[in-house]
Amino acid sequence: MSVLLLAAGYLKSDPKNPSARVFAIIAVFVVFYLLSGMTGQNIDPSFRIDLSPISLLISLGTSAISGLFMIYCFLVFQEQQQFPVTLAVALGLQVALDFILLLLNLSEQGDLSGGSALLATGLDIMQLVFVGFAMYWTLKGWRADLVDDRRVLRWFIIGVQGALIFSVVFVENFLLVDGSANNANEQAVIVYAIALLTLAMLLVAMRFDLVSLSYVIRKVAELTEEPEPEGSSTFDIESFNEAFREGQLYREAGLTISQLAKKLSIPEYRLRSFIHKQLGFRNFNAMLHEYRIEDASQALSNKDNHSLPVLTIALSVGYQSITPFNNAFRQIKGVTPSEYRKQHLG
C-alpha cells in the first residue's frame, strides 16, 4: 500500500510527466514482486496465495524493474536529452528474451537446457548493467546541478534505491536457488529492505511536499528572491553578462562552476543561486550550451565564415569535440549546424 500511495502521489502532482508514469509502473511491478513472495512453500497454507494465472506477467514485470529504473533516472536527471537507442533496443531485447525463457521454463517444467541457462545468466547480467547506467546518470552532472535539493535527491537515488535494486537483482539471480520465494530468511531480509526504502522515500517526500517526489523537481525550480549577505559585493545580471558574455568566459573548454566562481571572485554557492534563481537555469552545463550555441549560430550565419569548418567553430566557442556540439545545437535550434548555415547563407 505504501508503494502504491507513493506512486499515486507522484502521478497526482504531475500526471503528464513521463518520469511519474514510469515510476508508477515500477511501483506496480514492485508490488507484483512482493506478492510473488506469498506463493512459496514456506508460507503457511492459510496465508499462501495463488498467482498462477498471472505468473507470467509477474515474472516479466519483475525482470523489467531494472530497465524501468534506468529510464526513470534518465528522465529525471538527463533532462531534454534523447534516450540512447542502443539501450532502448537492449531493454526491449531483454524483456522479449525473458518472455521466451519463461515460456520454455513452463513447457520444460523448470528444467532449462545448458544454452537456455547461459542465456538466462546473460539477461541477469543485463539487468545489473541497467542499474549501473541508472546510477551513472544520477551521478553524472551532479556538480553542474544548480538545484541544491535535487543534488540531495541524486545521492538518495544512488545510495538507497539504486543500491537496493542492484542488491536484490544480484541476490535473486546469483545467490539464491529458486529465488527468494523459496528461501524464507532471505525473503524476509529483502521485504524488510523494501519496506525501509519505501519509508525513506516517504520521509523524503514529506521533507519537500508532504505528498510526492515529483514536486521536489518543480518546487526547487521556482524562482525566488533571497537577500544578499551583508557586506557582500554587488552582483547582478548586468555585471554577470559583462564578465561572462562580453568577456567570453563561456568559451573556455571544460569550464566548471567552481572555476567560474573563482574567475568572478564570488563564492560558489552564491553563483549557483544566482544562475538558478536570476537566470532561470537549473543546470550549469545547460547555461553554457545556451551561450555557446548562440555564439556559434552567429558565426555560422556570417557570410565571412562560409568556408570555415563547423568543427573549427565548435572548438572556438568552447566545445572539445564535434558530437556534443552537434547534439546541443540540434536541441536548441532544432536543426544541425550545417542545416542552420544553409538556411542563413542560402
Note whether 74 and 81 are within 8 A (CB).
Answer: yes
Note whether 14 and 218 are within 8 A (CB).
Answer: yes
How far is 170 from 66, CA to CA, in rounded Å?
11
Give residue for cell 541497467: 130
pLDDT level of residue 37 (50, 70, 90 thresholds): confident
How far is 320 from 314, CA to CA, in rounded Å?
8
- Domains annotated on the chain, with CATH: 2-219 (no CATH), 237-345 (1.10.10.60)
Q: What torsion do the CA atoms of 84, 88, 94, 97 make, to the nearest 10 degrees?
A: -130
Note whether 116 and 104 are within 8 A (CB).
Answer: yes
- pLDDT tens-digit map of 107-126: 655 555 566 778 888 888 89
Q: Which of 71-85, 119-133, 257-271, 281-295 has the lowest mean pLDDT?
A: 71-85
- Judge whether residue 231 has pLDDT over 80: no
Cα angle: 210, vertex 211, 217; to 5 degrees: 95
Give pLDDT, residue 182: 60
DSSP string, 302-315: -GGGTTS-HHHHHH
Give pLDDT, residue 242: 83
- Judge whether residue 209 has pLDDT over 80: no
Residues whose CB falls within 8 Å of the CB of residue 28, separated by 6 or more in sequence, listed in order: 4, 7, 61
pLDDT level of residue 150 (50, 70, 90 thresholds): low
Closest Cα to residue 30, out of 48, 5, 47? 5
- Judge whether residue 235 has pLDDT over 90: no
Give pLDDT, residue 223: 41
Note whether 70 and 133 are within 8 A (CB).
Answer: yes
Give pLDDT, residue 89: 93
Give residue for cell 564578465: 243
| Of the ranges 14-23, 92-101, 111-120, the best mean pLDDT one | 92-101
- Judge whether residue 216 has pLDDT over 50: no
How far is 29 from 45, CA to CA, in rounded Å?
24
What percent of the chain clears pLDDT 70, i.e. is strictly above it?
78
- Judge whether residue 293 has pLDDT over 70: yes
Note whether 211 and 12 are within 8 A (CB).
Answer: yes
pLDDT level of residue 340 (50, 70, 90 thresholds): very high
Cα angle: 90, vertex 95, 99; to 5 degrees: 145
Mapped to the 3 state alphabet, what secondary structure does 140-201 carry? CCCCCECCHHHHHHHHHHHHHHHHHHHHHHHHHHHHCCCCHHHCHHHHHHHHHHHHHHHHHH
Q: What cell does 168 get? A: 536484490
